[in-house]
Amino acid sequence: MTLKFPLLIDGERRAGSSGASDEVLNPATGTSIGRVAHASTTDLDDALAAASRGLREWSSVPGWERGRILKEAARRLEANLDAAARTITTEQGKPLAEAKAEVTRSAEFLEWAGEQARRIAGRTFLGREVGNRIDIETHPIGVVAAFTPWNFPMALAAKKFAGALGAGCSIICKPSEETPGSVLVLAQALLDAGVPRSAISVVFGRPDEVSRYLIPSPVISKITFTGSIAVGKLLAAAAGQVMKPVTMELGGHAPTIVCGDVDPVRVADILVQRKFANAGQICLSPTRFFVEDSILEQFAKRFAEGARAWRVGDGLDPSTQMGPLANERRVEAITSLVDDARRRGATVATGGERLGNRGFFFAPTVLTNVPGDADILRSEPFGPVAPILPFSNDDEMLGRANSLEYGLSAYVFTNDPARATRMKDALRAGTVGLNDVPTHLPEVPLGGWKESGYGTEGGIEILAPYQKTKFVSAR
C-alpha cells in the first residue's frame, strides 16, 4: 500500500497546491512506502495566515489550560505508542525498541512543557519614587518557524512544539521529507488534545525554498533549527537579515576520554551500546575515542569484539540491535570517511563496509592507528564508526579534544575524582558526561558551545526561547 503524507494546515490534511511530491523510502529495504506532498508558496501563505489567527487564539488560553492540553496530548501519544513507533521505524530505520523510547520521550517533553506553562509569571516591584510601580510581563514571542531533522523525527519536533505551544505561540514546522509521518502523528495528538487547528501547521518541501520564504515573512517572529552546522549558519544569516532570534542545536563530534584507571572491558561494553544507538546518527553520539596508552589494547580489542557481534537488521525485527542508516547519502558519507582513513594508514579493526544488497545498512566499524589528518577526526561522522586514538598526556589530549569547531558534548571515564573535575572544567562543550553518556531529558537544558549552536532547549527554561518580556512603569 502506498501511503500519502499530506501537508497539515489549519487542521486540514491536503496535497500541495502545485501537485509536487517526493518518494518516502523505507531505509531497511530502499523501497518506496509512499509520497510526501510539497508546499507551494500558496500553501505557505495559508499556513502563515492560519498561524496568525492561531497565535491570537492560543495565546489567549490561560497557561493552566494550555498545560492541561499539552499533558493530554502526551497521554494520547503514549496511548498510541506501538503504532507511532512503527511509523518511526518504517521511515527512519531505528530498532522498534528505540522508536518506542522516542515516542515516550516526545510525550515527556509535552508533559514537561505543560507543567512549565502553568508556572509562567511576571513580577512587580516598587520604583525608585513614591507612587511608581514597575511590572515585568512575560508574553509569547509570536509565530515560530521550526525546522527539524530525520534522526529523531518525533522527539526533536516535540521539543520545539512543547516549548512554543507551552509559551502560547503558534508554530509552523518543516520536518525532514524523509520522515514525514512521525511529525504528523505528533501534530495529530496535539490537535486531538485541544490545541486550536490554526495554531499548528506541518509543511514539507525543498528545504531551501521553504526556509527562504518563511524566515523573512513578517508573520514569523522566531526561528528554531536542529541540524548541521553548515545549514544552521545559512538559516541564522537569513534570520539576522531581518533581526529575528534563533535557537540552533547543531552538530557535534564528541571527544570520549577513557582513562587508564577504569576497567577497559566494562567501559568498552558501555560505549559500544552508546556508539551504535540509532546507528550513530545522534548529535550527542561519542565519536572520537581518546584511550590512555595503558589500557588501549584491551579497550580496542573489546570494543571491536562488541561491534562485530552487534546485530544489524530491519528495525522491525525484535532481535535487531542496530538498524540501517537513514538514507543512501549517509552510506556514501560513511564509506568515504572510512576509505579516507584507510588510505592514510588507519587499521579497520572491524566493519568498514556496506552490508547486503538492499537497504542502507553499514557494518559497525572500529578504526585504530588513525592518523591525525584523517577526515573522520575533523568531520562529524554521524554514523556507526568509532576511531580509537591513544593518549599519554592529559594536556596534549585535551588540546586535541577541544581543537574542533564542535562543542555539543564530551565524555570522560575515570575513577579519579580530581582528574574528572579537571577534565570536565577543561572541555569546551555544552554537555559533559562523567562516567556517563547522557541523552536529552526534558528536565535538562541542552545547548552547544562554539559552532554547535546557541540557545538551549529543555529544562525549567524550556519556554524561555519562545517568550519575550515587557517592562511597564506606572505612576
Sheet holding 31-37, edge to edge: 3-5, 31-37, 21-26
> How many Å separate Cα 86 from the centre of its chain?
19
Q: Residues 286, 431: contact at Cβ < 8 Å?
A: no
Q: Residues 246, 144: contact at Cβ < 8 Å?
A: no
Query: Considering 283, 380, 451, 457, which one is annotated as catalytic?
Result: 283
Q: DSSP string of 194-254? A: T--GGGEEE--S-HHHHHHHHTT-TTEEEEEEES-HHHHHHHHHHHHHTT--EEEE----E
Q: Where are the alpha helices (DSSP H) in 254-410?
A: 264-276, 293-309, 328-343, 394-401
Query: Considering 249, 380, 451, 457, which one is annotated as catalytic?
Result: 249
Give the residue from 368, 362, 351 showing the smallest Cα distance to 280: 362
CA angle 372, 353, 180 (to 5 degrees): 100
Q: Residues 366, 388: contact at Cβ < 8 Å?
A: yes
How far is 49 from 12, CA to CA, in rounded Å? 14
Is 283 designated active site?
Answer: yes
Is 169 designated active site?
Answer: no
Q: Which residues contact 167 (CB under 8 A, 6 or more apart)?
A: 117, 120, 140, 141, 463, 466, 467
CA angle 167, 7, 453 (to 5 degrees): 45
361 vs 55, 115, 253, 287, 385, CA distance in Å?
43, 41, 22, 19, 13
Q: Which residues contact 235 (CB under 8 A, 6 or more apart)?
A: 147, 211, 215, 223, 225, 246, 248
How far is 330 from 324, CA to CA, in rounded Å? 10
Q: Residues 159, 170: contact at Cβ < 8 Å?
A: no
**Catalytic annotation, residues:** 249, 283
